[in-house]
Structure 1
């Protein structure tokens, strides 16, 4: 049961024990719930208004971890004022404790327990009670071993002001003002009770903060645990689980009602509902193998929440850092699994190529013998002087066809790598012509126009012909594959100082800068059925010949590969 009115007779009215017990129990119960600070102060203030019947309440908490001011008026209970202070300012005494210089100094006297003379305004515990603020308050204060009389004129609508200092914990202290618009509102027994009550208030403030922090840490740990479980689910991609993760992140923050989340991974963006960008945010990058793969951002919708200015906790930044590390680990794991699967298929493909190479070499060897017999017998027939003209012409066709077949078999032997490496002077133009002869039908089928510009002035290069065939075939085949709807293939040879330059240009799809930077890495491929070995082999062959290869590519316009090979030194240069 709460008091509805104050008795008019005795100024030493006792506080009803039952009511005081209910008040203390309620304050501790609210603290134990771990309410948000403004909710807690609002609820406790209403209890104090009902119990004390005062008209205004103001609470200051100062220290290295809790620093704020709360003030509320009975007539405007739905419009309280709440303001946080910088902890350093509060410790150094830079916080303004009240409106007006006089009220500020009086608050300082109580908070700092300054020595004063007389007991007119002070209780045994050093707290201050002004029964009539309409009159000047005279207090003798000790300043540096010297007593000085100070006169405080208070400009306030309140007549009775009770200031009580209480401790929250070892590093945080507080001051409460109970204010009434009536003179002589508080009697000595009430003041003594309120002084004791404030010890409970200090415990409650400390307990509320501990319970609130514990609940927030539990939310953060639960979020991290649940996200970890989601990311560990088999065959579930981050894209599929992004919505669940975002919901978990929102619930883990202290202001979930006004929190928005944006998650970006590899260019794909996932957001919470009703998302919009605001200035107030924290973020954490997703880094794998020293490369940024994405970012996790958390925003506040509004600058205020439950009468408090919103802010992010240090622990919330730590939380999103931990989440991005979890995501990065899963991305790395997915990349390893993808690379493992790709490597497995590439090795199978390479094995098939090796088997085909062996088969080709065997078939070529078997064909060489009958071809040699055909050529031999054709030569014998040719020596017969009595052959008819038509027979002689037919015999010549047989010889030419056999020689052509033998040339094809020779090229197959090159590609099957059954020919021993030979570093000999090579005419690059001949390599180009023979390679194109071999791939000409493929160009026609792909509706690709061939434009060759072979300089007759290029010197020879010292190279292994079979390896040069391999370089050119790889470059031409790549160009053909990039022009699946037809196009123009340009092949050019040009003398370039001490080098001979071979360029292969297409007007196909082209490549991005990122892809260009990776094309020579073994097993890197952008093709569905590619091995990722072709260009890495080309790069290795060119470098082993003392040359270099350059690439220029523009997406949707085409690509140019330029191979620079050292020219054969002339006799003059050899003797120099």
Structure 2
């Protein structure tokens, strides 16, 4: 055990502690919030120098399962420990220790205990600031995306209305010409191609109108469970062809909601077809339907590669697709977004565990 500390030594230790606190504040003020590892490492180094016996001390800062260490950690040690919290939630700890062979707990000064607690508090405040800024940026991006989708909705609604009339004329005149050229097989074949192309274009226009919430609703109070189950059963051949298992988890057989049943079917269809497309063979798609006091919640999860962060903000935009050319129009998720929005609901995506994507739809009950 070391000798008792004199007044002069105590003053020197206090100066070291104040220098440490000043250095920690400086490191935090100049830290890069996108990469805090260097900041935490220099804080650990500064803290080691500030304790009474720095040459024998080990400092360990644990943050979100990552360890920052200064000094050799003794096998048997005495130590001081302080929790690091952000918004009162533990996110790590600071541990300062000595070898038990040379020191005892009495070799720690009360001022050192307070120093470690203060540094832990400063690190916690840093992570609180990081979380606040990240949430503000996320909210800003969400607002920007909502604005973009709103503008796109107005544009697509205008385009859809403008295209409806000429498409109707093309279809009408094509049918008239078929009658006139009934005996000409080549002309009839060409007219059939024109008609099919016009019908396909009309379906695209219909999807645009779904996205922009311009389609008329036939809303009525109904049990949505049979609607969801029927939509899934119709996709059975798709599951079989790719050897995919679909697990449906619905705890309650009666979940009433005021909804357009055709549009809800289209939402389930589009999301599950997407999940099938991105799922590996012999994968599993999970559909979970439940309700609480406020919302009806529908979750559809796949085991695909997941959504790249760089593309996550655009997936609900019309004509945006990650599928190969010719495999999708890029309107499926935008249509889903439009329908969910028209029912005053929300749709979000998140990583599935251990891999894949989960789409979560929430329909408010009121």
TM-score in terms of structure 1 length: 0.45
Q: Quick one: distance in 2 between partners of 1:267 and 1:488?
A: 34
Within 5 Å, which residues of 2 pair with 1:25-44? 38=3
The one-character-per-residue Cα deviations of 1:11-62 (angstroms, maximum 9, x if unpaired) are: xxxxxxxxxxxxxxxxxxxxxxxxx973x8xxxxxxxxxxxxxxxxxxxxxx
The alignment status of 1:326 with 2:122, answered yes or no, reads yes
The alignment status of 1:252 with 2:47, answered yes or no, reads no
Aligned CA distance change for structure 1 residues 526 and 313 (closer, same or farther; 3 Å)? farther
The alignment status of 1:530 with 2:327, answered yes or no, reads no
Q: Quick one: distance in 2 between partners of 1:264 and 1:454?
A: 40
Within 5 Å, which residues of 2 pair with 1:137-176? none
**Deviation of residue 338 (structure 1)?**
2.7
Q: Which residue matches 2:84? A: 286
Aligned CA distance change for structure 1 residues 397 and 509 (closer, same or farther; 3 Å)? closer
Q: Is 1:488–1:506's contact at 8 Å kept on the other side of the alignment?
A: no
Q: Is 1:282–1:298's contact at 8 Å kept on the other side of the alignment?
A: yes
The alignment status of 1:226 with 2:31, answered yes or no, reads no
**Deviation of residue 505 (structure 1)?**
4.9
The one-character-per-residue Cα deviations of 1:286-315 (angstroms, maximum 9, x if unpaired) are: 11123222111111124435xx88532222
Q: Quick one: distance in 2 between partners of 1:564 and 1:346?
A: 17
Q: Is 2:228–2:268's contact at 8 Å kept on the other side of the alignment?
A: no
The one-character-per-residue Cα deviations of 1:500-523 (angstroms, maximum 9, x if unpaired) are: x9884533358xxxxxxxxxxxxx
Aligned CA distance change for structure 1 residues 315 and 309 (closer, same or farther; 3 Å)? closer
Q: Quick one: distance in 1 between partners of 2:121 and 2:128?
A: 10
Within 5 Å, which residues of 2 pair with 1:5-404? 38=3, 209-235=6-32, 237-304=35-102, 311-384=107-180, 387-390=182-185, 391-404=187-200
Q: Which residue matches 1:555? A: 354
**Deviation of residue 317 (structure 1)?**
1.5
Q: Quick one: distance in 1 between partners of 2:157 and 2:284?
A: 31
Please provide the CA RMSD for this pair.
4.9
**Deviation of residue 560 (structure 1)?**
7.3
Q: Quick one: distance in 1 between partners of 2:152 and 2:233?
A: 25
Gaps of 5+ in 1: 1-35, 41-207, 441-447, 511-524, 566-576
Aligned CA distance change for structure 1 residues 450 and 218 (closer, same or farther; 3 Å)? same
Q: Is 2:301–2:352's contact at 8 Å kept on the other side of the alignment?
A: no
Q: Quick one: distance in 2 between partners of 1:210 and 1:363?
A: 83
Q: Is 1:287–1:293's contact at 8 Å kept on the other side of the alignment?
A: yes
**Deviation of residue 328 (structure 1)?**
0.9
Aligned CA distance change for structure 1 residues 555 and 428 (closer, same or farther; 3 Å)? closer
Q: Is 1:509–1:555's contact at 8 Å kept on the other side of the alignment?
A: no
**Deviation of residue 214 (structure 1)?**
2.7
SS in 2 for 1:387: coil
Aligned CA distance change for structure 1 residues 478 and 218 (closer, same or farther; 3 Å)? farther
Q: Is 1:450–1:490's contact at 8 Å kept on the other side of the alignment?
A: no
Q: Which residue matches 2:218? A: 422
Q: Is 1:488–1:507's contact at 8 Å kept on the other side of the alignment?
A: no
The one-character-per-residue Cα deviations of 1:220-268 (angstroms, maximum 9, x if unpaired) are: 2221111111111153743112332222212221222321100112221
Q: Quick one: distance in 2 between partners of 1:336 and 1:555?
A: 27
Q: Is 2:156–2:208's contact at 8 Å kept on the other side of the alignment?
A: yes
The one-character-per-residue Cα deviations of 1:87-139 (angstroms, maximum 9, x if unpaired) are: xxxxxxxxxxxxxxxxxxxxxxxxxxxxxxxxxxxxxxxxxxxxxxxxxxxxx
Q: Is 2:2–2:107's contact at 8 Å kept on the other side of the alignment?
A: no
Q: Quick one: distance in 2 between partners of 1:292 and 1:533?
A: 35
The one-character-per-residue Cα deviations of 1:48-93 (angstroms, maximum 9, x if unpaired) are: xxxxxxxxxxxxxxxxxxxxxxxxxxxxxxxxxxxxxxxxxxxxxx
The one-character-per-residue Cα deviations of 1:390-410 (angstroms, maximum 9, x if unpaired) are: 144543443343223212211
Aligned CA distance change for structure 1 residues 477 and 345 (closer, same or farther; 3 Å)? farther
Q: Quick one: distance in 1 between partners of 2:246 and 2:12?
A: 76
Q: Quick one: distance in 1 between partners of 2:163 and 2:233?
A: 24
Q: Is 2:244–2:281's contact at 8 Å kept on the other side of the alignment?
A: no
Q: Is 1:263–1:296's contact at 8 Å kept on the other side of the alignment?
A: yes
Aligned CA distance change for structure 1 residues 321 and 228 (closer, same or farther; 3 Å)? same
**Deviation of residue 491 (structure 1)?**
6.3
Q: Is 1:454–1:492's contact at 8 Å kept on the other side of the alignment?
A: yes
Return the index of the structure with the highest Cα Rg: 1
**Deviation of residue 211 (structure 1)?**
2.9
Gaps of 5+ in 2: 291-296, 317-332
